[in-house]
Structure 1
Amino acid sequence: MTAPIETLEFQSEARQLLQLMIHSIYSNKDTFLRELVSNASDALDKLRLESYRDKDLEADTSDLHIAIETDPEARTLTVRDNGIGMTRDEVVALIGTIAKSGTADFLTKLKEAKDAAASQDLIGQFGVGFYASFMVADKVTLVTRRAGTAEGVRWESTGEGTYTIQPVEDAPQGTAVTLHLKPEDTEDHLYDYTSAAKIREIVKKYSDFITWPIRMRGEGEDAEAETVNSMKALWARSSSEVTEDEYHEFYKHVSHDWQDPLETIRLQAEGTFEYQALLFLPSHAPMDLFLRERKRGVQLYVKRVFIMDDCESLVPEYLRFVKGVVDAQDLSLNVSREILQQDRQIQLIRRRLVKKVLSTVKAMMTADAEKYATFWREFGRAVKEGLLDDFENREAILEISSFASTHDAEKPTSLRDYVSRMKEGQEHIYFMTGESRSAIENSPHMEAFRAKGFEVLVLTDPIDEMWVDAVPGFDGKQFQSIAKGQVDLESEADKKATEVAREQQNKAFESLLTWMGTALGDTVKEVRLSSRLTTSPACIVGDTHDLTPTLEKMYRAMGQELPPIKRILELNPDHGLVTGLREAHTARPDDEGLTETAELLYGMALLAEGGELADPSRFIKLLAGRLEKTL
C-alpha cells in the first residue's frame, strides 16, 4: 500500500525569503553545498549530544559522518548524514517555515538544562541555508528519520510555493538531501555539480575544517569512499598540539604565499561571545599592497564552516596584509558583507584583532629586532595609514613605528628612543618631509639643527606628508616641521644674551626686507630674517598650516585644483650675499639690477629645497648675465 502524500503550502514569508535568497543573498552558487554540509554537521553534533544526555536512545553512533554522492547520468547530487534526523512534524516546522531554527530551539533546551558546554558545537540555522539548494536545483528531495524512531519521512519541492510530504518505512537514521540539478544548458551551465572534482574543490574550500569526516567515493565501481576534508581546525587545537610546520602550511593555504610567515598570532576569546583567531604577518609585502583594486581581510568561519574570504569588516585598511582565519561561535551562517559591517560582535572582534596585532609587533620590537626590521621595511608604509583614521589606536601605532633620522644614517629610530635622546629643554619632535633622504639632509633647513646637534626625523614616504599634520604629538611632545613656521633653537639664557643684538639686526635689515617683500610680492607672502640658516643665504618656509611642496604636487597630480600657495622667504643675515645686497640697496635703492638679484636669491632657495622654478629660462638668463659680469 502506497503511503499517503500530503501537499502543503509554504508560509508566505517563507516564499518571499526563498526568492530573496536565491536571487540576492548568495552571489556564489557554490555556497549551497556549504549550507548542506553545515546542516549535516549540525545534525551529527545534535546526535552526539542527544546520545550523551539520553543513554537509552536507540541510535547508531559508531561511525558518524557525512557522505556526498553524485550521479552524472541522473544529474543528481546527494548530501547524506547519519545524524539526529527529523520527525514529520520537525520537517514541517523546520523547512515549511523558513524562519524557524531547529538549532535555536535545541540551544534553548540545553540552556534550560544548564548544559552550556554541550551547546558550543552546534551550527547554524537549518531552515534558511537549506533553501540555497534551489539556486542549482529545480527539485529537492529530502528523506529523513529521527534517531530512536521507526518511521521516516520524505519531503519534496520545486520551490514554487508548495511541497509534498509522506511517510517512509525503510529510511535510514539521519537525513539525505538529493538535488535534482538544473539542466546544463541553463544560465548556470558553468557549474558542473555532478563532477566529483568540482565537489571536492568546494568541500576543500568551504568545509575543510568541519570536525566530521566528509566522504566521497573514488573513481571506478569498486572504489572505496575517501575522506575529502582535513578536519584539522588548527585554531581550535591547543598551541602545544600544533607544530610550526603545520602553522606554516596552513598560512600558505590561506594566503597563497610561497614563503613562511614572519609571525603567527593566536587569539581566543571566551565568555558571552566566543571566537578564535589564527592570524599571520607575512614575511614580504604582496605586489598589490598599494593597488586600489587589491583584496584585503581574513577568512571568516562560523563554527568551522567557511563563510567568506577577504572579510574586510574584520581588519582595517592599514592592516590589509594580515592573513588568517577568524572562527566565531554565535554568528548566523547566512551573513552578508553588508550585515557584517553593522554587526556589533564583528566590531568587537575587529577591535580585539587590531590591538592584538599591534601589541604583537610592539613585542617583536624588543624580542627580535631583525624580525621587526623586516616587518617595518615591508609594511611600515601601510601601517602609517592608520595614523590618519584609527584614532583609538593612534598612540599604539606611533609606538611601533620607526623612522629614519639624523641620529643614525643606517638604522631607523622609534619615537620612544627619539624622546629619550631629546636635549634638555627640547619641547618638540623635529621632522622634515621630502622626496629623498639626500634632499632633506642637504636642505638649508637642516643647517642650524645640524650645527646645534638636534635630531631630526627624515620622512620620505608619501603618507608622511599627510599624517604629520593630522597627529598632534607623541608622549606629550608635539611634532614640529623644521620647514614650517618660526624655529627657535636657543635656550632661555642665549635668548637673553642675544635679544638686544636681534633687535639691532632687525632694524638694520628692515628696509631690505620691506623692499624685497614688495619686489617678490607675486611669489612670496613675506620676507624675514632666519634663525635656522648657518651657511646658505636663504631658504623658503611655509606657514604652520601650509601644504608642503611635495603634498601640493601630490594633490595636483591627482587632478585637484589648488589656489596658488605663497610661502615665506627667510634670509641669513650673516651671509655675504645678503649683507652685500643690503648695502647695495641702501646705496642704490632704485637700481633695477637689485630686483634681478632678489629673483636669483629666491630661485636658489627654491631649488635648494627641491622646488620647481616657474620660469627656468628666465632664471638661467639672469644667472648667466651675472656670471658674465664677474669675468
Structure 2
Amino acid sequence: MTEAIHPEKHGFQTEVKQLLQLMIHSLYSNKEIFLRELISNAADAADKLRFRALSQDSLYEGDGDLHVKLSIDKEAGTVTIADNGIGMTKAEAIEHLGTIAKSGTKEFFGKLSGDQAKDSQLIGQFGVGFYSAFIVADKVTVRTRAAGTDKNTGVEWQSEGEGEFTTADIVKAERGTEIILHLREEEKEFLDDWRLRSIVSKYSDHISIPVKMYKAEVPERDGPEVDGKKEKIPAVPATWEAVNKATALWTRDKSEVSDEEYKEFYKHISHDFADPMTWAHNKVEGKTEYTSLLYIPSKAPYDLWNREQKHGLKLYVQRVFIMDDAEQMLPNYLRFVKGLLDSNDLPLNVSREILQDNKVSQAMRQGCTKRVLQMLEKIAKNDADKYQAFWGEFGNVLKEGPAEDHANKDKIAGLMRFASTHNDSDVQNVSLADYISRMQEKQEKIYYITADSYKAAKSSPHLEIFRKKGIEVLLMSDRIDEWLMSHLSDFEEKSLQSITHGALDLGDLDDEESKNALKEAEKQVSGLAERVKAALGDKVKDVKFTHRLTDSPACIVADENGMTTQMIKLMQAAGQPVPDAQYHFELNPEHQLVKLLADVQDEEQFSQWTEVLFDQAALSEQGSLKDPASFVQNLNKLLINLVK
C-alpha cells in the first residue's frame, strides 16, 4: 500500500454532515444505486479528460485507453471503483469531497421534513453522487492524482462519515481516482462478483467507456473424449473484461434501446433518482446533422427557480464531451428539460460564446425546441392525467414562453392550463381550446381575471355580470400570470380580455333590457358620480356607473393602458420602482348602498361613506389598503351615527 504522508484533519461543511447522516441511516430502499452513482462520476471524469486533452494531449500520459475498473477484496471486505480520468489535486479533493458546491443548498435542507419517504425523494432530486458511498460503507478511502501532474502529487482522502475527513500526500503512479469502500458488515452481499456484474449491467450498460471487472485465470482442463482420447481445453489467462456494452447509448438505433436503458441513462446524466416522464431520441440529417436525446423529468428539481443554477443540455461533438449545461441549445422557459446533443457540424473547440451566435447551434436550438413542444403536445393529447402532473410541476416555467419565444407563442399558449368558472375547483385543467369550444354564440373574446389567490379571483366583484350571463372566465392566481397575459393578447383569432382592465364591452352579449335598466337606475342617482369624484379627488382617475356589478356596490378598474394591481405587485416583488397608479371607480347604481349614498346630504358623512365604499372596493381588488387605520375610523364614525 502506498504510504500516506503528512495527514491533515478537516471538518465537513455543515450541509455535508446532514447529508451523510441521511445516507448512513439508509433513506434509500434501493442501496445498489451507490455503484451507479460512483461509476457515473468515473465516466464524467473520463469525459473531462478527453475534452481537455483536445488541446493538451500530454494529459493522457501515454495512455488513451479510458476505462473504469471494479474490483473486490473479500478478505478486506472492500469494493474498489478506479478510473483513469481527469483526477483531482489536493485542493480539488478537499473542495469536491468536503463541500456541496450547489446553489440553493441551504434552502434544500430547509425543505427536509424528517419524513424518511418524502426526504428520500427530495434527496433523489438533489443528487448525492459521491456521498452515496456511505449507504453501504462505514469508511471510504479515495486515492487520486490529477492528469498531467507529478506522481508525487497524489492525495489520499479518508472518512468514516462522522463529520470529518483526513487528507494526506501519497505517491500515485497512475492518474485518475480510485474509491475504496470498506463495506458495513450487513452489506457484504456486494462482495459477490456476480452481484456487481448484474448491477453494472442493469444501471451502467450505456456508459460510453468500458466498465471492467477482473476475470480469474481458468487452468487447462480435460475436455470431452473423442475417438477414445480426452482432448485438453487450453487455459484461459486472467484478464480484465468489460461487463457493459460501452457504446454511447444515443449513437445506437432507438429500436435497439429498451425503455429501461433510456431511464437509466436519464438518471446518469441528470443525477435524478426518479424515472423521467417521457423522452425523445432523434437523429437529424440534412443541412445540419445532430443527434438529440431529450427528457421531460417527472418532478421539478429543488433549484428550478434558482437564478444562479445553470441549466441546459450536455453537448457532445462527434461523441466527444464538450460541456455541461449548454444553455444556448434550449430557451430558458424549457430549462427543466434534461438530455444531450451530439453534433457533427460544430468544431471540437466550440465555446459558449461561439454557440451564442453560431448558425448551426441556432438551427439545433430551433429543432430541439420544436421537439420538446411536440412531446408535450403528444402527452396533452393522449394522457390528460399525465399532462396534468406535468403542468403541476412545470406549468409556471412554461408560462415564461410567450414572452421569450414569439415564434412558438401559439404552440405554447395551446399547452397552457388554467382554472375557470366552468369548474368549481382550483385545479388548472382548462386549455384555451377548451374555453373557445364553450364560448357563447356571439362571444368574441376570451375573458380572464388575475388575482392574489384562486379564492380572491373566484369571489371578485368583477365576475358578477359574467355569472349572471353564464359567460366563462379564466381564473388566474399565479404570480407570473399578469406578466404572461401582457405578452399573450390572442389565441386562434380570439383576443384575451381582462375583466378588471379598461371599460367592459360585452358586445352582442349585452341585451337591450339590461342597458335600459342601467340607464333608468342612473337617472335615480343623477349627479352622484360627480359628487363622489369631488370627494375622492386625485385618489381616482374617474368615477362612473357600471353594469359589470350585480351584488356589489362598487369596484375599482385599471385604466386600459395602465398598470393593474397584480402587475404592480409583481414589479414590487422584483424590487422595481412603481409609479402611483390611479384607478377608475365604478358604482353600481342599482345597489342599495349606492342609492343610500345619493340621499346623504351631510357632506362630512357623504365623504365618509364615499371613502368606505372606495376602500372596500380597493380591499377586494388589492387585498390590502395603504391606510387601513383611516378606513377603520370612517367605518366606526358611520356605525356610531347609525346607532344614534
Using the size of structure 2 for normalisation, the TM-score is 0.66
Report if the CA contact (8 A) 1:209-1:304 is conserved.
no
Number of equivalenced pairs: 469
Pick the aligned partner of 2:394 from 376, 379, 394. Answer: 379
Pick the aligned partner of 1:238 from 242, 253, 258. Answer: 253
CA distance in 1, matches of 2:637, 2:292: 71
CA distance in 2, matches of 1:39, 1:79: 16
Does residue 297 of structure 2 align to residue 282 of structure 1? yes
* Aligned match of 2:620: 608
Does residue 497 of structure 2 align to residue 485 of structure 1? no
AA of the residue aligned to 1:574: E
In the TM superposition, what is the alpha-carbon distance from 1:546 to its structure 2 partner? 2.0
Report if the CA contact (8 A) 2:207-2:249 is conserved.
no
* Aligned match of 1:547: 563
* Aligned match of 1:426: 443
Pick the aligned partner of 1:556 from 555, 565, 572. Answer: 572
* Aligned match of 2:371: 356
SS of the equivalent of 2:283 reads: strand
CA distance in 2, matches of 1:39, 1:231: 25
CA distance in 2, matches of 1:444, 1:329: 59
Pick the aligned partner of 1:460 from 446, 463, 477. Answer: 477
Question: Is the alpha carbon distance of 1:250 and 1:360 closer, same or farther for their aligned partners in structure 2, counting shifts above 3 Å?
Answer: same
* Aligned match of 1:474: 491
Pick the aligned partner of 1:335 from 343, 346, 350. Answer: 350
Question: Is the alpha carbon distance of 1:184 and 1:576 closer, same or farther for their aligned partners in structure 2, counting shifts above 3 Å?
Answer: farther
CA distance in 1, matches of 2:631, 2:54: 75
CA distance in 1, matches of 2:606, 2:209: 89
- Deviations along 1:376-434, whole A, 9 cap, x unmatched? 11001001101111100100001111111111134521110100100111111110011
Is the radius of gyration larger for structure 1 or structure 2?
A: 1
Q: Which moved more, 1:508-517 or 1:208-217?
A: 208-217
Does residue 406 of structure 2 align to residue 413 of structure 1? no
Pick the aligned partner of 2:334 from 315, 319, 323. Answer: 319
Question: Is the alpha carbon distance of 1:630 and 1:77 closer, same or farther for their aligned partners in structure 2, counting shifts above 3 Å?
Answer: same
CA distance in 2, matches of 1:570, 1:536: 11
* Aligned match of 1:79: 63
SS of the equivalent of 1:521 reads: helix
CA distance in 1, matches of 2:171, 2:245: 23
* Aligned match of 2:603: 591
Does residue 160 of structure 2 align to residue 181 of structure 1? no
1:211-250 matched pairs, under 5 angstroms: 224-227=239-242, 230-250=245-265
Report if the CA contact (8 A) 1:439-1:610 is conserved.
no
AA of the residue aligned to 1:606: A
CA distance in 1, matches of 2:418, 2:580: 31
Question: Is the alpha carbon distance of 1:30 and 1:621 closer, same or farther for their aligned partners in structure 2, counting shifts above 3 Å?
Answer: same
Unpaired runs of at least 5, structure 1: 1-27, 42-67, 71-75, 83-132, 137-178
In the TM superposition, what is the alpha-carbon distance from 1:77 to its structure 2 partner? 2.8
AA of the residue aligned to 2:642: T
Pick the aligned partner of 1:198 from 145, 152, 177. Answer: 177
SS of the equivalent of 2:541 reads: strand
- Deviations along 1:129-187, whole A, 9 cap, x unmatched? xxxx9x99xxxxxxxxxxxxxxxxxxxxxxxxxxxxxxxxxxxxxxxxxx86357669x
Pick the aligned partner of 1:570 from 577, 580, 586. Answer: 586
In the TM superposition, what is the alpha-carbon distance from 1:195 to its structure 2 partner? 4.7
Question: Is the alpha carbon distance of 1:208 and 1:183 closer, same or farther for their aligned partners in structure 2, counting shifts above 3 Å?
Answer: farther
AA of the residue aligned to 2:558: G
Question: Is the alpha carbon distance of 1:212 and 1:251 closer, same or farther for their aligned partners in structure 2, counting shifts above 3 Å?
Answer: closer
1:57-206 matched pairs, under 5 angstroms: 77-80=61-64, 181-182=149-150, 194-195=173-174, 197-198=176-177
Q: Which moved more, 1:228-237 or 1:397-406?
A: 228-237
CA distance in 2, matches of 1:604, 1:476: 37
- Deviations along 1:484-529, whole A, 9 cap, x unmatched? 111133637723x555555454455441111111211231111111
Report if the CA contact (8 A) 1:403-1:458 is conserved.
yes
